[in-house]
Amino acid sequence: MTQRQALNFAWRTLAALAVLFSGGAALAWGPADGSQPIAVFWFAGLGSASALGGWLAWNSISSSRLRDQLNLIDTAFRCVDVAVVGIDDRGQIFFANAAAAKLAGAEHAELIGQAYESRFPLRNAADGKPVLLQELQFECGDNVPALRAVLRDAGGNERVLDISCACEDAGRRQVIFLAMEDVSVPHGISLELFWQANHDALTGLVNRRGFEEALRKAIAADDAPDKRHTLLFLDLDRFKLINDSGGHAAGDEFLRQIAAVLRARVRTSDVLARMGGDEFAVLLHACPVEQALRIANAIRMDVSNFRFVWREKVFHVGASIGLVVLSDPAAGAEEAMEQADSACYAAKEAGRDQIRVFHAKAASHQPRADMNIVETIHDAIERNGFRLFRQRIAGLDETTAKSRHFELLLRMVDREGKLVPPMVFIPSAERHNMMQAIDRWVLANALPAIRRECEATPDSLPVFDINLSAESINDSRFPQFVREQIALHGTPPEAICFEITETLAVANLTKAAELIRELKDLGLRFALDDFGAGMCSFAYLKHLPVDYVKIDGAFVRDMFAEPMNREVVSAINNIAHSLGMKTIAEFVETEGTLNRLREMGVDYAQGHAVGRPFYFS
């Protein structure tokens, strides 16, 4: 080898090691044929633990040169604290440096030929599950972040490791090199304290502090456009009902179980965290927005399908999810979290249990848009800018087929004359304590129209369902307001049926029961709406003497696709009948569903298969 060749080889070795060990450099000197020793000098510092990927990129391993390469690599990594292991296609160790031997608590020679998974039994730091070699092999790549794992060393101490993987074909065989960097704890700090500082004690997930640190690292990486990371922010819908009904013990157990549901859906390379309360976040590494949307929707469906059982009560929640693509390196972790929170807020505004992607222009107008809606609601109340529509509730048997039963649906008309659906303005009205005023507007304007309907058919009084909010349920003055309106407009009480959602009734059980009994004495009727949406327990029904139980449309709509939903509908129907209550199936969209409900003995049906809403008043 000429001097020029030797210099080229040396600089090539230096470049390979220096590029990937950021903050450090190495210099190899000597002929490449192995006839003389090669001196390797290590300079300053240790950064990324994936140096072997760069080495192998310049020096592809072939069976004829493997031993010489390994000798050189062993010399290069003898003075490095990072544990480096080479594994063949049978999962056996063929190379290990001194740091790896120390980590395994074995002599260097003892490791060679041993099964990697038996000498290094890793567990995923996020969920505690075993990390398989096949899983590590899947994580090979330049842009794949290090996998964080936990290993109990020879001294019985748990070490937190960041593991990087490099794969290379050696002829007809593939070899894997793993670099395991110990990131356990700073000197003098116990592993227990380190874990507590970065993990949520209740769920075992990463906490806000640990997540924001991972988020900062992901943003700083500034990867290629096709390797952009994505942030999800989740807020659980109706979680408050679990706390209110079952206490904090129920809430804590639910959070532990829902954390397991979320953990099962995310990838091992992702970071799942509990941010506090009922809020969670997921950092999806190297995940395009299309794939991120699929994952987010799968999470949303998993949460929606999950049923939490507590003391014979079954709770059902949903998830509103905000999604942000981390495409701007200049935006910090705090700004990214604000964007994700803004998108999550938009999902709740749109009706909950939805996904919204952050858009800067839409977000900048969001607070003002919310105030515009509030102003429009005030305006609508003052100028009678609401409209009432009615939708038929059809009887399904001979005794109910001729009945005239309707639900009144509220719409708002803006200044431009456009109809605004309730999912747009009701959340804002609830947030700004305006629902009581809306309830009173509905009652004052509906009762005269109901009286006219009754006068047209005095021998067959119709029934009109009117929805009540939590504010009206908890307002001790509301029953007197109802009496005054009935007397003022001369409306038959038997023609009025108030609907209370199941979640509101359970959260305000005492108040709801008092209101029902007081107004039923006047002749009014009551319906329990969306039954099954929050609980499938029947124990409390005896405390709510309602006339109708409306079966939640989520069960009715998917009756044919999900056999369990049919069983739920049947169970609700049978229990309600045993308590002397009539049943109404919601979201009946097809004739097939209508016929099946009729066969099951459900009393009424509501949905597009029966009739669409039309103008009432």
Predicted pLDDT at 139 = 67
Rounded Cα gap, residues 40 and 515, in angstroms: 85
Predicted pLDDT at 392 = 95
> In this structure, are 492 and 509 located in the same domain?
yes
**What's the pLDDT tens digit per position in 135-183?**
777 767 655 667 788 887 666 667 778 888 887 765 556 778 888 887 7
Predicted pLDDT at 362 = 45
Rounded Cα gap, residues 322 and 573, in angstroms: 37
* Nearest one of 176, 178, 180 to 149, comparing CA atoms: 180
Question: Which two three-digit tokens encode residue 300?
Answer: 């949303």
pLDDT higher than threshold 80 for residue 242:
yes
How many Cβ atoms from other residues are within 10 Å of residue 58's Cβ? 12
When pLDDT is averaged across residues 273-295 and rounded to a whole number, the result is 88
Question: Comparing 56 with 146, which gets the higher pLDDT?
Answer: 146
CATH number of the CATH domain containing 26: 3.30.450.20
> In this structure, are 68 and 118 located in the same domain?
yes
> In this structure, are 486 and 450 located in the same domain?
yes
pLDDT higher than threshold 70 for residue 45:
no
Q: Would you say residue 81 lies in a domain?
A: yes
> In this structure, are 68 and 175 located in the same domain?
yes
* Nearest one of 200, 228, 198, 193 to 210, comparing CA atoms: 198
Rounded Cα gap, residues 512 and 454, in angstroms: 28
> In this structure, are 230 and 176 located in the same domain?
no
Radius of gyration, alpha carbons of the chain: 33
Predicted pLDDT at 289 = 81
10 Å CB burial of residue 216 (0-12, 13-18, 19+) is: middle
pLDDT class of 490 with cuts at 50, 70, 90: very high
List CB contacts of 92: < 8 A, sequence separation 6 or more: 113, 114, 115, 116
Q: Would you say residue 377 lies in a domain?
A: no
Question: Comparing 145 with 307, which gets the higher pLDDT?
Answer: 307
Helix or strand or coil: residue 280? strand
Q: Please, are residues 396 and 588 in contact by the beta-carbon 8 Å criterion?
A: no
* Nearest one of 279, 353, 274 to 320, comparing CA atoms: 353
pLDDT higher than threshold 60 for residue 222:
no
> In this structure, are 180 and 216 located in the same domain?
no
| Percent share of the chain, pLDDT over 90 | 28
> In this structure, are 219 and 185 located in the same domain?
no
pLDDT higher than threshold 90 for residue 408:
yes
Question: Comparing 315 with 4, which gets the higher pLDDT?
Answer: 315
Question: Comparing 140 with 213, which gets the higher pLDDT?
Answer: 213
pLDDT higher than threshold 80 for residue 370:
no
Question: Which two three-digit tokens encode residue 424?
Answer: 């747009």
Q: Please, are residues 125 and 149 in contact by the beta-carbon 8 Å criterion?
A: yes
CA angle (415 as vertex; 412, 419 as ends), nearest 5: 35
pLDDT higher than threshold 90 for residue 358:
no
pLDDT class of 67 with cuts at 50, 70, 90: low
pLDDT class of 471 with cuts at 50, 70, 90: confident
Q: Would you say residue 464 lies in a domain?
A: yes
When pLDDT is averaged across residues 186-198 and rounded to a whole number, the result is 57
Question: Comparing 285 with 370, which gets the higher pLDDT?
Answer: 285
When pLDDT is averaged across residues 356-367 and rounded to a whole number, the result is 58
pLDDT higher than threshold 70 for residue 406:
yes
Give φ, ψ of 580 to 5 degrees: 80, 20
Question: Which two three-digit tokens encode residue 603?
Answer: 């009393």
Question: Which two three-digit tokens encode residue 24?
Answer: 């450090």
Question: Comparing 332 with 227, which gets the higher pLDDT?
Answer: 332
> In this structure, are 133 and 221 located in the same domain?
no
Q: Would you say residue 422 lies in a domain?
A: no
Rounded Cα gap, residues 276 and 254, in angstroms: 14
Q: Which of 278, 439, 529, 603 is catalytic?
A: 278
* 37: amino acid identity, one letter: P
Q: Please, are residues 276 and 234 in contact by the beta-carbon 8 Å criterion?
A: no
> In this structure, are 185 and 209 located in the same domain?
no
pLDDT higher than threshold 90 for residue 396:
yes
Predicted pLDDT at 563 = 84
pLDDT class of 328 with cuts at 50, 70, 90: low
| Percent share of the chain, pLDDT over 70 | 76
Predicted pLDDT at 176 = 83
pLDDT class of 491 with cuts at 50, 70, 90: very high
pLDDT class of 78 with cuts at 50, 70, 90: low
Beta bridge partners of 535: 315
Q: Please, are residues 422 and 411 in contact by the beta-carbon 8 Å criterion?
A: yes
The boundaries of the domain holding residue 560 are 389-408+439-615
Q: Would you say residue 243 lies in a domain?
A: yes
How many Cβ atoms from other residues are within 10 Å of residue 122's Cβ? 25
Question: Comparing 413 with 57, which gets the higher pLDDT?
Answer: 413
**What's the pLDDT tens digit per position in 460-469?**
899 999 999 8
Predicted pLDDT at 130 = 83
Q: Please, are residues 352 and 318 in contact by the beta-carbon 8 Å criterion?
A: yes
Q: How many residues does the chain have?
A: 617
> In this structure, are 59 and 143 located in the same domain?
yes
> In this structure, are 184 and 297 located in the same domain?
no
List CB contacts of 453: < 8 A, sequence separation 6 or more: 462, 464, 495
Domains: count for the chain: 3
Predicted pLDDT at 126 = 63
Helix or strand or coil: residue 458? coil
Let me know if 278 is a catalytic residue.
Answer: yes
